[in-house]
Amino acid sequence: MASITKSYLILYNFVSAGLWTVVLARTATIAISAGPDKVFPELDEYVRLVQTGALLEVVHSLVGLVRAPLFTTLMQVASRLLLVWGIAYTFPSATAQSPTYPSMLVAWSVTEVIRYSYFVFNLVGSIPGALTWLRYNTFFILYPLGITSECWCIYEVIRRGAAKKIDQKLEFALWAVLVIYIPGAYILYTHMMKQRRRIMRGKQKAK
C-alpha cells in the first residue's frame, strides 16, 4: 500500500510540475510576443483547470497522504481558487485589463515548478542541493510578488466598479478579502520561514 501511495504522489507531483511549467513558458512567450494584455485571454481557461486540480492537495492532507498542515494548505488553495474563479472567471474584463495578472502567473508558476519538483526528488530519495536552495529561498521574492499581484487583481475589480454592478455587498466582501490577506500573508510567510529554518539547520548539522 505504501508503494502505491508513493508512486501516486510521485506521478501527481511530476504531472503538476509539468502543467505549471507550461503556464510559466506560455506566460513568458505570450507576454513577450503579443504583450502582457494578451496573457489572460490566452491562458485563463488553462490556468483555471490546473489550479482547480490543486484541490487534490487538500484531500491529500485531509486523508493523511502527506504531512502538510491542512489549514495552511486549505488557505493557500482557497485563495487561488478565489482568484481564478471568483475574480478572473466572474470578472474577465477587469482581470484582462489588470497589469498584475501576468506577474501573478509568473509568481505562481515558478513557485509551483520548484515546489512540485522538490517533492518528486524528495519522494525518490535524492534532492539536488540547488533545488533545496530554490525551494527555501525564492519565496522571499515570489511570495510578495504573488500576494501583491493577487491583491491588485482583486482591487482592479473594485476600482472598475465591476463588483458593484452586481451587488454592493459583493464589493464590500472583496474589500474584506483584501483585509484578510494581511494576516493570511503573514501566516503563509512565517510558515515558510519556519520550514526554511528547519531545513537550513538540518543542512548545517549534516556538514
Catalytic residue set: 143, 150
Give residues with Cβ within 8 angstroms of 49, minimum separation 6.
none
Q: Which three cell numbers stand for residue 1?
A: 500500500
Please check whether residue 45 is in contact with residue 23, taking contact to mean a CB–CB distance below 8 angstroms: no
Cα distance between residue 93 and residue 85, in whole Å:
13
Residue carrying the nine cell digits 509568473? 106
What's the half-sphere exposure (Cβ side, CA atoms, 13 Å) at 109?
A: 22
